[in-house]
Structure formats: structure tokens, C-alpha cells
Structure 1
Amino acid sequence: MAIEKCPQCEDQVLDNKYSCPACGFVKRDKPEIQRHPERSKITTKTTSKSLQIQGVVSLLLFIAGLVWFYISGDEYAQRNELNVVALVMFVVGFIWYILVRFFIWRSHD
């Protein structure tokens, strides 16, 4: 086994390694495709604060609507009514969450 230099950090690594243990650089079959793994990951650091907050708020709205709908279900069933407010919270929260996830996905293309 021969020792070669990592193209990213110039540390000496064995040539049969798939990645550099020092910096995490991923060794590819074709040198022109090589890239640093940190640049290809979608993380919360690369997601805008606005989208993160919207995701949390929409998830809370979804859960609150679902819980309220089930807690008040017996009360509304006795009156033969439907808890429309809780149902709207549930549906709006769900659709909002799906849209936020789509926008996050689109922003990382």
C-alpha cells in the first residue's frame, strides 16, 4: 500500500482509503468529480431561519388541530356537530408543512 497526499488538506493517507480521515474529503473514481462532503449535504445551517420557523409553526398547528379534534370529539358528537376550527387547523397545518418542506427542497437544488 502506497501513501499519497489528500488533495484537500495535503495530509498523507493510504491510497486504498475512500476518504481522508483528517478532513473527510471523499475520494472518487474520477478526479474531476471529487468534492468535499460538507458542501453536498443539506443541513439546517444551509436552510433559512424563516423556513425553519415556518416548519415548526406549521407542525405545531397541525398537531394542535389534531389533538383538539380528538379531545373535543365526544362533546361535538353528542350535538351531532363537527369541530370545524380544529379540522381547519389540522388541514392548514398539514398543507403548510408540506409546502415548507417543498420550499426547503427547492432552495437546496
Structure 2
Amino acid sequence: MALTNCPSCNKRISDKAEACPHCEFRLSGLSEEELNREWSHAVQARRDKLISQSMLALLIAIAAFTYFFIEQPIPGTWQSHTANALMLIGVVWFVINRVRIMFLKRSRR
């Protein structure tokens, strides 16, 4: 029993496995066309997940900015620090997810 890489998630799996235990990508009994279709579905699912995460990050950053703009907390208070931290976290998380989406688009089978 040898180990091979899953074409979808690139993790090590058994060559005898019918499906990847990590991402549930079907491997056995598929023609080349079906394998390509399954791979496309797996990539699309990952892309959708990353897009959802990036929208959540953007929503967090916008909510923190809105709070900061409307309430105008006194600088140095915990409210001010929390709003600033959430804005920073939201923007950084958004940028990281967009970079991950870009690398996902570049990945080839």
C-alpha cells in the first residue's frame, strides 16, 4: 500500500482509497472527464468558502469602522482600542483571503 497525493487537497492518502478522507474527493471508478469535473467542483467549493470568509471579514471591518465613526470613543479607552483592533483584523483577514483566492485561481490540476 503506497501513499499518493490527493488531486484536490494535495494531502497524503492511500493509493487504495476510494475517496480522500480529508476532502471526500472521489478517486476510484472515475473516467478522466469525471475526475476533472470532480476536481472542478472541489476547487469551486474551496473558492466559495474563501469568498464567504472574505465577506465576513469585510463586514467585521465595516461594522467596527461604523461604530468608531458614529460613537467616536475617547482615544485610549477600551472601546477605541477594540474598534481599532477589529478594523485591523477585518482588513488583514480580508486581504489574506483575497490572496488565497488568487493562488487558488492560479492552481492547476
Using the size of structure 1 for normalisation, the TM-score is 0.50
C-alpha deviation, 1:50, in angstroms:
1.3
SS at match of 2:52: helix
Structure 1 or 2: larger helix share? 2
Task: Return the alpha-carbon distance in structure 1 between the equivalents of residues 56 and 66 of structure 2.
Answer: 15
SS at match of 1:108: helix
Using the size of structure 2 for normalisation, the TM-score is 0.50
Task: Return the alpha-carbon distance in structure 1 between the equivalents of residues 71 and 84 of structure 2.
Answer: 11
Give identity over the alignment, percent.
21
The ranges of structure 1 where at least 4 consecutive aligned residues each deviate by more than 3 angstroms after the TM superposition are none
Task: Return the alpha-carbon distance in structure 1 between the equivalents of residues 69 and 84 of structure 2.
Answer: 10
Which residue type is aligned with residue 96 of structure 1?
Answer: W
C-alpha deviation, 1:81, in angstroms:
3.1
Residue correspondence of structure 1 range 27-106 to structure 2 within 5 A: 46=44, 48-73=47-72, 76-77=73-74, 81-82=76-77, 83-106=80-103
Which residue type is aligned with residue 53 of structure 1?
Answer: S
RMSD: 1.9
Task: Return the alpha-carbon distance in structure 1 between the equivalents of residues 51 and 86 of structure 2.
Answer: 19
